[in-house]
Every structure is written in C-alpha cells, then in structure tokens.
Amino acid sequence: MSAKLQPVRGTHDILPEESRKRLHIADTWRRIAETYGYGEIQTPMFEMSDVFHRTLGDTSDVVTKETYTFTDRGGESLTLRPEFTASVVRAFISESLTQDLPQKFFYHGPAFRYERPQKGRLRQFHQVGVELLGAAEPEADVEMIVLAAQGLKTLGLEKRTRLEINTLGDAESRKKYRQALVEYFTKHQNGLSEDSKIRLEKNPLRILDSKDPQDKKLVEFAPAMQNFLTTDALQFFTTVNEGLYKLGIKATPNLRLVRGLDYYNHTVFEFVADDGLGSQNTVLAGGRYDGLVAQMGGPEVPGVGWAAGVERMLALMDEAAFPAKSKCISVIVVSDVAESAAWELTQSLREAGIIVDMPYSGNIGKRLKRANKIGASFAVMLGEDEMKTNSVALKNLATGEQKTIAQAQLINQLKNNHVL
C-alpha cells in the first residue's frame, strides 16, 4: 500500500471556513487601500531569479537560505516569489509606468520561503500589502503607516499590536554607520556566528538583524545609527514622527530595527504583537526603499511600502471580528414526484441571491439532519400536496415552527427573515 498523501511540510489546506475569514481580511485591506487611492495589482507567483537575487541582497537569509529556485525546461532560472515588493517594482518598470507618478498599488496572495515551519511561519504563506512609488516626501511614509494602523484597527488588532519605528538614514549616514559597525564587529569577530562573519565583509547592517544568540549579545552594545545621521536624514525622520504624533499614532523607537532585506533606507517600521504569536511576532512591516527601482534597471524613483502576514493576523483575531456566516436554506424533497419542481424552485431562489443547499438523496429525516448540520436557517419542503396547491412548507429550524405559504410569497418571506 502506498504512503498516505499529505500536504507538503510548511503548507496546509485552507478549508471553506478559514477561507471565508481570509477573504474578509483581504477585502478589508482592499477597501481601506482604495480609500487612500491604491489600485490592486497581481504579479506572477514566479519571476526570473534575478528579480529577487539581485535586489534582496546576497547577505539576506531570504536569498542565501530560503528561496525556492529552479531551472525550467527552457533553461531559465526561476524563483517562487519570497516577497512582493521586488515583483511590484519589476512590473512598474516592465509595464512602462515610470512616467506617470506617483503609482499606488495594493496586493494580496501567496509567497514562498524555505524556512523551518513553526507557529506564524509557513513555507507557503500569504500577504497583503501596499507600495507607493514616486513620492520622496516623509509625508508618504506617514500615510503608509497611518493606512496600516487603520487597517489593523478595523480588524480589531489595534490593541493586540504596537508600532516600532527606526531610521536607516540616507546614503551618507549609512556609509558612516557602516564604518563604525565594521570597526566594532571586527574587534569582536571571534564572537560572531559564521553567517555574521560573512555579513561583516559584505553588509554589516545585516548583523543587527541576526537571530543567532551570540550575535544578539554583541548587537546589544553595537553603535546606534542615530549617532551617525546627517542633518537631512534626522529632519526626515523627525518629520515622520511628528506627522504620526499629530494623527494620534503612537510609535515606539527601536534603534536595532533594520528589517530583513537590503534595499531599505530612511524609515523602517514594524507592528508587532506581544502575545499570541510566539517568536514570530511581526504582524506588519515595511519601510522606504528609494534606490530599488534604479537598482532593478529603472529610473531614480523613490518608493515606500509594507506587507502584512495573513496567517499571523488570522491567529490574533477574535471570532467576533469576523462577519457572521451567510445564512442558507435547505430545499427538501418530500416525495419523488416533486423532484423536478424542487430543482426549479431551488434555481429560482439561487437566482434571487439566496444560498440554497439541496440534498441529493435520503429520507426526510436525513435531509433535515443535514440541514441542521450545515446551519441552515429554514427548510423549504416540497411534496405532492404542496405541488397541487403551488405552495411549500416552510420550517424555521431554530424554533421548529412550520407553516404553509404560497411559492410566490417564498422569496419575500425569506427576505423578511433576513435570509437574503
């Protein structure tokens, strides 16, 4: 006997009830993003590998350890998208949208990383997010964070998450800071993990994002970016914080926040949860990436954006945060002669927008049992007697009350009972 087939490790089947909740999350974010002027974009789930390998940074864990990269039959190196920003920027360039700025995009869908599966971390996971291309002003960063805060509040996550914020400065700030980090970590090189020894050579800022315990001890006493900010970079960050304060958004400084990818500059931020997610507690994160478009072969166009994990939001949300499941009814055939008429009635109800389940077989008892099991609010029963009088027996499955009504009145009766 062959082995029992199971989902691939780090993936899971999304059954109808969970799918309903996920749809609510995506629709909520889409609706809010639209009020800020964002239109939905859908990019392919796989890209030429250079889209990610050239942009995410050759010292980021995403590129060095986590991408699903393969060679297709045509000899092309392809990668399943590990994140959306690079894909959106690729589309922005290849679809010739660089002359009409700013561009505002909303997206949602699956992404893929080869990671060790754990709570809040899957190999196929889902994100919603927004990208704003063509706005260099700090006010764009403020809008981006306010949009995120509004969405989390709408989903009932305002009190379950808190905003942490930092700045990575401009190019001159990072150059000075990089030199300071190299000097500091070189002195403590023997205490670094093997991965961070490589990062020290290529991108020492990556060490600040290391999850290795021995690296974390050294990072605790490393120089802080704030001491190396240029006047312009400091003013940019000050404007962002003042804008958030004026709009009532509370932000907590986190001087070690650098994000996991190499393309960020200036503002970086995360909404994190203190409980409910374990170590994978980042719910929504993003920042500014002014050099990414040019790095991917486009013109110098600034950008800022964020992404939120659907699975992590789902894990934090209370059941009451989701809308009630749509009501349905069950059409039950009482006698065989009513079978054809019952199908016609069922179709007319569905065309009127009513959710209808019609069991294919079984006696009346079994069909009523199914109606109760699926949570139907009413059973519409049709037999030989009802056919003679062009009526139906309508049974309220919550109260047990049953009455006979004309078929012509059925839709209005169901509407009056808030089934439609």
Domains present along the chain, CATH in parentheses: 16-170+230-320 (3.30.930.10), 328-416 (3.40.50.800)
Q: What is the pLDDT of residue 59?
A: 47
Strand (E) or helix (H) holding 39? strand 39-40
Query: Residue 4 is encoded by which pair of tokens?
Result: 């029992």
47-67 burial code (b ≥16 CB/10 A, e <16): bebebbbebbbebbbbbeebb
Mean pLDDT of 224-238: 93
State the chain's mean pLDDT as an integer: 90
pTM above 0.85, yes or no: yes
Task: Give the tens place of pLDDT for each residue, 291-316.
Answer: 899 999 999 999 999 999 999 999 99
Mean pLDDT of 365-381: 92
Specify the range with the lowest mean pLDDT, choosing from 215-224, 377-386, 396-405. Answer: 215-224
Query: Among residues of the chain, what percentage have pLDDT more than 90?
Result: 66
Task: Give the tens place of pLDDT for each residue, 138-172.
Answer: 999 999 999 999 999 999 999 999 999 999 999 89
Task: Give the tens place of pLDDT for each residue, 349-361.
Answer: 999 999 999 988 8
> Strand pairing of 355-357 and 328-333?
parallel
Note whether 357 and 376 are within 8 A (CB).
Answer: yes
Q: How far is residue 228's CA from residue 249's CA, in Å, rounded to a whole number?
A: 26
Residue 419 has pLDDT above 90, yes or no: no
Q: How far is residue 197's CA from residue 102's CA, in Å, rounded to a whole number?
A: 40
pLDDT band at 174 (very low <50, low <70, confident <90, very high): confident
Distances 152 to 68, 128, 321 between C-alpha atoms, Å:
30, 12, 11
Residue 420 has pLDDT above 80, yes or no: no
pLDDT band at 262 (very low <50, low <70, confident <90, very high): low
Q: What is the pLDDT of residue 136?
A: 96
Q: How far is residue 262's CA from residue 282's CA, in Å, rounded to a whole number?
A: 18
pLDDT band at 189 (very low <50, low <70, confident <90, very high): confident
Residue 202 has pLDDT above 90, yes or no: no
- DSSP E strands: which ranges in 204-359? 251-253, 265-272, 282-288, 303-309, 328-333, 355-357
DSSP for residue 62: I
Query: Residue 154 is encoded by which pair of tokens?
Result: 């709408």
Note whether 391 and 406 are within 8 A (CB).
Answer: yes
Mean pLDDT of 168-190: 89
Q: If DSSP codes are grouped into helix, strand and coil, which group holds residue 341?
A: helix
Chain-centroid distance of CA 162 in Å reads 17
Note whether 263 and 288 are within 8 A (CB).
Answer: no
Short-list 322, 284, 315, CA closest to 152: 284
Specify the range with the lowest mean pLDDT, choosing from 8-22, 31-45, 182-196, 257-271. Answer: 257-271
Distances 125 to 12, 45, 81, 223, 313 between C-alpha atoms, Å:
10, 12, 11, 35, 12
